[in-house]
Chain A
Amino acid sequence: MELFWFIIIAIVLTTFFILDGYDFGTGIIHLFFAKEEKDKEVIAKAAGLFWDSNEVWLVAGGGLMFMAFPTYYASVFSGFYLPLILVLWLIIFRAIGLELRGQFDYPMWKSIWDKSFGVASLLMALFFGIGLGNIVRGVNLGGVENGVSMYEAHYFFLPLWNDGFSPSGVHPGVIDWFTVIIGLIAVVTLAIHGANWIRLKTNASINEQLKKVTFRLSMTLIALTIFSLLVWHVINPSPFGNFADHPIYIVFPLIYLTGITGLFFAPTDWLRFCSSSLVIIGGITSSLASIFPVILPSTNDLNDALTIYNTTTSEYGLSVAVGWVILGILLVAVYTVVQKKLLGGKIDDMDYGH
């Protein structure tokens, strides 16, 4: 039952990163590459039409995690207090940037909200990557000092950064050089994903240029991925142990590899978008598989890591929710198909009667 809920939440959150991921990506592309007003407008629209229905996946994922793994939700949300609140503020700046830019026709007004959308998207991609880095690295659960656990075993609090940005000590901060690498991987991946979305949904004049950009970004992604694997052993003494114990997990890195290959060879806009989605799916699932069934490793010897088994609620609560979550996901699938179908096609070809 715990495994079922772990999978459901992983699917919901991965879907969030695929759907809202292209919003983040369009923001990053918007910030660095969109120079002409008509491109800026069409790119903002490619994200603006969908961001709120994409963001719902985060709300649903958070709610389901709250319900199924309350101890984990409480521990992680209070432990990563500062970065999470920063993410909340970024969500606000990104959304209002998208919604406000078209409201007044002054260049300065547009430029302020374009920056708000772009910078917030970039930072959110970075922070989510850093967050994933923290989860695989683990934290000082229970806040052990001089061999004494300061809090209950599963509570902790991380500062934004600590001395030397070192990931290997007992007191890492949220931001260290390892988590920054994972953060950069997320930024590059989502930038590629966003570029693919723009090419799929628009006839923007920068689409030719984006072809070159995604090629260079894809090469960067490969370099960063290899580098992260080389330094993986710094934070985990048996870096690939989980994959050796459970050979089936190798399917997740293979998804990642398939996605990377697709970035270079996919023949159509649609398949290219699927490829970058596969990179996201593969990246998240491989990271989770490397620590599973742990969902937050402990960097001290006193307290046990958090697993899907020691952070959950009652069997009854979990099983009764299975019924409604299946119904809910079916409904969501219907809404999503109806919405994407009716608002399908290229953004700039359409007349929305607005």
Chain B
Amino acid sequence: MEDMIFYDRLQFAFTITFHYLFPQLTMGLSLIIVYFKWQYLRTQTETYNDAARFFMKIFAINFTMGVVTGIPMEFQFGTNWAKFSELTGGIIGQTLAMEGTFSFFLESSFLALFIFGEKLMGQKLHLLTGFLVFLGSWASGYFILATNAWMQHPVGYEILANGKFVLTHFSALFSNPWLLPAFLHNQMASVVTSSFVVASIGAFYLLSESNVAYGKLFLRTGILFGLVSSLLVAFPTGDWNAKNVAKHQPAAFAAMEGIFETEEGGAEIVLIGQPNMVEKKLDNKIAVPNVLSFLTYQEWDKQVIGMNEFDPNELPDNIPALYYSYHMMVGLGTIFIAVMVLAAFLLWRKKLYSTAPLLWVILFLFPFPYIANITGWYVAELGRQPYLVHGLLRTIEGISPTVSSGNTLFTLLGFVGLYLLLGLLFLLLVGKTIYTGPHPQKH
């Protein structure tokens, strides 16, 4: 049972981590593509239309990768987590099936039109199809997070004598207090990722002195979107999420923040430190007194319950991973804000395009929003442990009873090999697209 659950969790973590690299870019990028297309219609400047077409190519490669790595996610609920599927399918099946029916259809039907239909339908309709692709990709995120929100904070259910969860209030799935903050935080984070990618390509063109006009446009646009979104990720959406975790999952909150002991007279905020699981304390810590209490409850001396006061069976099973994920996410988010504010300032003073050091920083910063978003996802998922459905269904109770660990290990290795190949091909294709550049369309 122990190694069964280990491989099942590892496989899910691996496949969803790899999958999430793609939708986080497509969700944000679809918004930026719509912006380019709209600017083109407004100003009739061809450069904007070329930019839209160029990022559409990158979008399409990402979308394909997202689809082929996303289908296994739905299947794995049944293959590796059969008990979980059986017990909760009547509820989270609703939101998952809605994702397929409402958003995935919208996105993929209109993506084909957006890519191949520009000449067939004229510019205004083309903008509309682009907008529908954007709508579809954001709706997808909404339904997936509605599914996750129910697992984090179950609502509108009843448990039958045979252990099955059944739905009692459909509307509760969408008025779940967990959903809106998680969705907004996630969407803003995806805009951060795509802004950094757009700005990074712009910086590359400026530094390599190729496609300079496009480079300036990409940099400007990336910084515009990046500044707004990196601020919104932290406040209000990030703050709102942290308060939600403190309220609904206090054990996870203590682990995220690295609070072992409950302190009288308010909790400190930990900037640096390493969780010591043997002595149940934080080593080498640098902390600011009382700030955590204030950030969480707007009261300087309010108590935050420490991990040592919880039943060990209710604590997340990998506290260091959760703690480091959270601190990496927050730390990287702070760096993003600093870089974007500085870049925006230089852009305003008309010095950005000639400030090579900052352009180099922007060029190489693009992987870090991916890391921040993935660690953010880990915070949510590790924080929910040891439960699949928080407080109600333990992870160990959700796995497939008939699938042996050998089978799971075999398929895990298969996915690792296959995704390695996919990753290499993806880098090759995107690299080629960037290298070729947004050349004006031949007429």
B75: interface (CB < 8 Å): yes
Query: CA–CA, A353 to B77, complex, Å?
Result: 41
User: Is there an interface contact between B108 and A52, defined as CB atoms closer than 8 Å?
Assistant: yes
In the bound complex, how far is the Cα of B89 from the Cα of A243, in angstroms?
33
Chain B residues within 8 Å of A123, by CB: none
B367 beta carbon closer than 8 Å to chain A = no
In the complex, whether B116 has a CB less than 8 A from a CB of chain A is yes
Complex: A155 Cα to B113 Cα, angstroms: 43
A67 touches B71 (CB 8 A): no
1/0 contact string of B85-103 vs chain A (CB within 8 Å): 1111111111011111110
Contact of B105 among A53, A81, A143 (CB under 8 A): A53
Q: Does residue A329 face the partner (Cβ distance < 8 Å to B)?
A: yes
B78–A77 contact, CB under 8 A?
yes
B120 — which chain A residues lie within 8 A by C-beta?
A: 342-343, 352-353
Question: Are B67's CB and A338's CB within 8 A?
Answer: no
CB pair B117 A59 closer than 8 Å: no
Chain B residues with Cβ below 8 Å from A152 are 401
Contact A331–B108 (Cβ < 8 Å): no
Does A96 touch B at the CB level, under 8 Å? yes
B418 CB–A CB distance under 8 Å:
yes
A100, B105: Cβ atoms closer than 8 Å: no
Chain B residues with CB below 8 A from A316, complex form: 166-168
Which residue of chain B lies nearest to A313 when distances are taken between CB atoms in the complex? B90
The answer to whether A67 touches B90, judged by C-beta atoms less than 8 angstroms apart, is yes
Query: Are A317 and B90 interface neighbours, CB within 8 A?
Result: yes
Contact A66 B101 (CB under 8 A): no
Q: B84 to chain A: closest CB distance in Å?
A: 8
User: Given contacts A59-B100, A73-B85, are A331 and B105 in contact (CB under 8 A)?
Assistant: yes
Contacts of B249 in A (CB 8 A): none
Contact A76 B97 (CB under 8 A): no
Centre residue among A58, A64, A70 by max chain B CB count within 10 A:
A70
Contact partners of A89 in chain B: CB under 8 A: 414, 418
Known contacts A49-B112, A329-B101; is-contact A100 B425 (Cβ 8 Å): yes
Contact A155 B429 (CB under 8 A): no
Q: Does the CB pair B68–A92 fall under 8 Å?
A: yes
- Interface membership of A111, Cβ < 8 A: no
B100 with A62: CB separation less than 8 A: yes
Q: B246 in the interface, Cβ–Cβ < 8 Å?
A: no
CA distance A50 to B168 in the complex (A): 38
Q: Is the Cβ of A353 less than 8 Å from the Cβ of B105?
A: no
B79 within 8 A of A: yes
- Within the assembled complex, what's the spacing in Å between the Cα atoms of A342 and B425? 31
Chain B residue numbers with a CB within 8 Å of A99 are 61, 64
**CB contact list, B97-128 vs A, under 8 A:** 97-102, 104-106, 108-113, 115-121
A78 interface residue (CB < 8 Å to B) = yes
A91 to B70, CA, bound (A): 11
Which of B63, B69, B118, B402 is A78 in contact with, Cβ under 8 Å?
B402
Size class of the B contact interface (CB-based, 8 Å): 35 or more
Q: Which of B68, B79, B83, B167 contacts A85 (CB 8 A)?
A: B79
Number of A-B residue pairs at CB separation under 8 A? 229
Is B411's beta carbon under 8 Å from chain A?
Answer: yes
Bound together, the chains give a CA A128 to CA B41 distance in angstroms of 47
| Contact (Cβ within 8 A) A76 B78 | yes
Check: B243 CB closer than 8 A to any chain A CB: no
Asked if A59 and B71 make an inter-chain contact with CB atoms under 8 angstroms apart, the answer reads: yes
Residue-wise, chain A 94-114 has the 8 Å CB interface mask toward B (1 for contact) of 011001100110000000000
Which residue of the partner chain B has the closest CB to A354? B116
Residue B194, interface by CB 8 Å: no
Asked whether any CB of chain A lies closer than 8 Å to the CB of B403, the reply is yes
Residues from chain A with a CB closer than 8 A to the CB of B164 are 70, 313
Q: For the complex, give the distance between the alpha carbons of A53 and B109 in Å.
A: 5
A213 within 8 A of B: no
Residues of B contacting A241 with CB < 8 Å? none
CB of B101 within 8 A of CB of A60, answer: yes
Say whether A222 faces chain B, with CB atoms less than 8 Å apart: no
Q: How large is the interface on A (under 10, 10 to 19, 20 to 34, 35 or more residues)?
A: 35 or more
* Contact between B68 and A157, CB atoms less than 8 A apart: no
Which of these, B72, B88, B115, B166, contacts A354 with CB under 8 Å? B115
Q: Let me know if A63 and B403 touch, CB within 8 A.
A: no
- Within the complex, which residue of A49, A60, A66, A88 is in contact with B85, where a contact is CB–CB below 8 Å? A66
CB distance from B69 to the nearest CB of A (A): 8
Write the chain B residue with the least CB distance to A334: B109
Do B105 and A60 touch across chains, with their CB atoms under 8 A apart?
A: yes
Contact call A81/B79, Cβ cutoff below 8 A: yes
A335 contacts which of B61, B106, B115, B170 (Cβ < 8 Å)? B106
Inter-chain CA distance A194–B108, complex, in Å, is 21
Q: How far is the CB of B106 from chain A (nearest CB, A)?
A: 7
When the two chains form their complex, are residues A353 and B89 in contact, meaning their CB atoms are under 8 A apart? no
Report the Cα distance A49→B115, complex, angstroms.
Answer: 10
A352-B119 contact, Cβ under 8 Å, with A53-B105, A95-B67, A152-B401: yes
Complex Cα spacing A50 to B112, Å: 7
Contact A66 B89 (CB under 8 A): yes
Say yes or no: B119 contacts A103, CB within 8 Å.
no
Complex CA distance for A106 and B68, rounded to whole angstroms: 25
> B334 at the A/B interface (Cβ < 8 Å)?
no
Whether A70 contacts B101 by the Cβ 8 Å rule is no
- Which residues of B lie under 8 Å from residue A74 when comparing CB positions? 78, 82-83, 85-86, 89, 400
The residues in A between 333 and 353 inclusive whose CB is less than 8 angstroms from any CB of B are: 335-336, 338-339, 342-343, 351-353
| Nearest B-chain residue to A92, judged by Cβ | B68
A263 on the interface (CB 8 Å rule)?
no
Point out the residues of chain B lying under 8 angstroms from A157, CB to CB.
402-404
Q: Which of B267-311 contact A (CB under 8 A)?
A: none
B441 within 8 A of A: yes
Q: Which of A27-79 contact B (CB under 8 A)?
A: 49-50, 52-53, 55-56, 58-60, 62-64, 66-71, 73-79
Task: Tell me the nearest residue of chain B to A49, going by C-beta.
Answer: B112
Give complex CA distance A51, B235 in Å: 41
Residue on B with the closest CB to A94? B68
> B354 contacts the other chain (Cβ, under 8 Å)?
no
A342 in complex: contacting residue of B75, B104, B113, B401, CB < 8 Å: B113
Query: Nearest residue in B to A63 (C-beta to C-beta)?
Result: B97
Once A67-B94, A339-B112 are accepted as A-B contacts, the answer to whether A82 and B100 lie under 8 Å apart by CB is: no
B408 nearest CB neighbor, chain A only:
A81
Query: Which chain A residue lies CB-closest to B143?
Result: A63
Interface centre among B101, B407, B429 (most CB of A within 10 A): B101
| A70 and B86 contact, Cβ closer than 8 Å, known pairs A92-B418, A157-B403 | yes
Q: Which residues of A contact B110 (CB under 8 A)?
A: 335, 339
Interface residue stretch chosen among A129-137, A185-193, A284-292, A318-326: A318-326
A-B CB contact pairs (8 Å), 13 listed: A50-B112, A52-B67, A59-B100, A63-B74, A63-B101, A70-B88, A73-B78, A96-B422, A155-B401, A316-B166, A320-B167, A332-B105, A339-B110
Across the A-B interface, give the 9 residue pairs with the lowest CB-CB distance, nearest first.
A77-B78, A70-B89, A67-B93, A313-B90, A63-B97, A353-B119, A328-B101, A314-B166, A78-B82
Q: A53-B105, A55-B71, A314-B90 are in contact. List 18 more A-B contacts (CB 8 A).
A: A60-B100, A63-B98, A66-B74, A70-B86, A70-B87, A70-B88, A71-B89, A73-B86, A74-B89, A82-B407, A82-B411, A84-B79, A88-B75, A313-B89, A317-B90, A317-B91, A325-B101, A328-B101
